[in-house]
Structure 1
């Protein structure tokens, strides 16, 4: 007697549902039929906007269950163990292969590359129920598997529709007037020495070729000792800011940088080696957090974090400080500052770490786009708060904000025609996993 088993029906049902799901994702699924040997079908990639076939394929193995739970299943994820023979076969193919798990009881679809095994257990796949859903949001991640990364210039266009993109810029709104004066000192070096004699360390001014520039009236502060009082004149900022003279532009950029640095003190310091501004530790060996308004919600970041030595818990391994590198630039008659998030590493919160560059390189290799975007949003919030007419300091100490400060305004986001998958932003480095495994206290 010829029979058709429940397993056969279940398998056929699963492949049909996966085919329907792939079509709903704007892609093409071709079943391999009765002669399949470990790959149930192929996803043929296409551009959903133009319909153009991309000549890229992904092998698909479908595993269907009617009900029940997966191994170690929780509300967040579960494990799935591949068969050794299957994995060995898939690794001989000339196309990337994914496994799609379908549970008919709740019609849940999850996917994973068969090469994404847990470190040390290549057969074990660990699924995240949010990140590994097999739906339209997964198209770009799946498509990235088809790229031969050993080929220079290999590229696959994003297949998702557009997304909102944030420029790493803030608009700089300087005071309406700038103070210009002559000085008996030709450059800042000699003038600074004179100011230090008066125990003053406010250097929010520029002195080049005997010409002094500042957004604050030097006659009202310690800078009076380095200028000719009778020569002080308040002029419109645009005279310097919009000048075609290259020397004026250089001087104005330096004035913006120095003014910003002063108004961020004392909580933000300047790292000369990296030319970056960073959160200072409140005390040696002590961390710090900063609350800010993110794109939509309130957020909080550990902006100074102390890492203890893994072997000697009484000794500090390193202290990581959030930082950023600014760059001021004029665009179409307006001034902007680009914000490039980075980090500073110290021994105890004050002294530069002896392996600072190595630690920074390791951290950068593991940075993802969403983390960088979050850091940019934090710094943008901090800059905008620093320029308000009356505002508390960064960590809640109240006080009037004096004249001559810079104000900062957000730059509107733009709508991109295509979205860029998160996986494409990630730095592909063969040592990234090893670094993360060996240095959990640092990264």
Structure 2
């Protein structure tokens, strides 16, 4: 259903810390009206009665790897944005470690061109920093690009920024939001060598959080924060995974005033080191899934405001690749289709409120990245909406997994809730496991 006049009736609207019953009128791409009761004034208005289901703002996922260009045997922007929309994610920010890497303006523009033709969801891309491309970084228009991504560990190609002078120069020179992957390479290398000496290359998966250790994360995160404070740079730390790191962040000031912010990912909130025995390399991520103590601390920091955003770090690989032994199995896994329902499962478990889910997955990413007219259910905003039936169980199976790689770490999981409808820019793109074959995604813009 392409963008037209649509009236959503009998909704429980989750927005800005409240849940209220009402109707939403969509006209074209935008929300025209929100009220307790709205009548269709003309016969051509499409009325959708959601029968008391919950309407969330479309989720904004601030960290995904959709693998295009160059790694399209794993995923494409088309395939993964489609899976994202089925999961209620209406906007994504994709990372620069594709092939070729997004470290020049030319390669950045090529990715925007691919997305303009193929994306079901709204899109932007991180520009990648290296030890040698500061001149290119300074050409990036901050109003039209999500930000700058720096790998301070776990890089691909030449994207490890390990020259401290260059790093400080980047922090001082750019007005872009700087997002970082923090793991100390020297610590990881030392740990890996010790484990290879003990086990050879076939290291037990349970050793992954010992190799990519909490200390490796903390060393790198604390250095990045120290540098941001020194230079005044705007810093966002991706996928915080340890209890120790949560102490680096503050909840003393509102998010809009923070210069240093943090993200946690679904897998670090869901899994722990106790799951390696059953899941093996399917839950091998960088940074590693760590202890239950770490997981509990991440939940605490998320709820008390030290951690600002929930994202996925969606990073698919083929099953064939993941089935390799430890030293050859790549890190990362697919998550966008199941992220929102996983968080609502946590709601059912009493861990988080629906209002807080909307805050951490919709409002805060919009505020943090200064995304224009998205992330909220407001008059005049784009009609990016996810409608959720929170009491309609379904099981994740091979035949309903939409990722190109064809697997999920949540396979055989029974979720209590499901996404029933997803609107992108006023167009109904997805309804009850069926797609309307409308690629309604638009390039995100930023109010900076």
TM-score (norm 1): 0.23
Higher helix proportion, which one? Answer: 2
Q: RCO (CA 8 Å, sep 6+): is it higher in 1 or 2?
A: 2
**Structure having the larger proportion of residues in strand:** 1
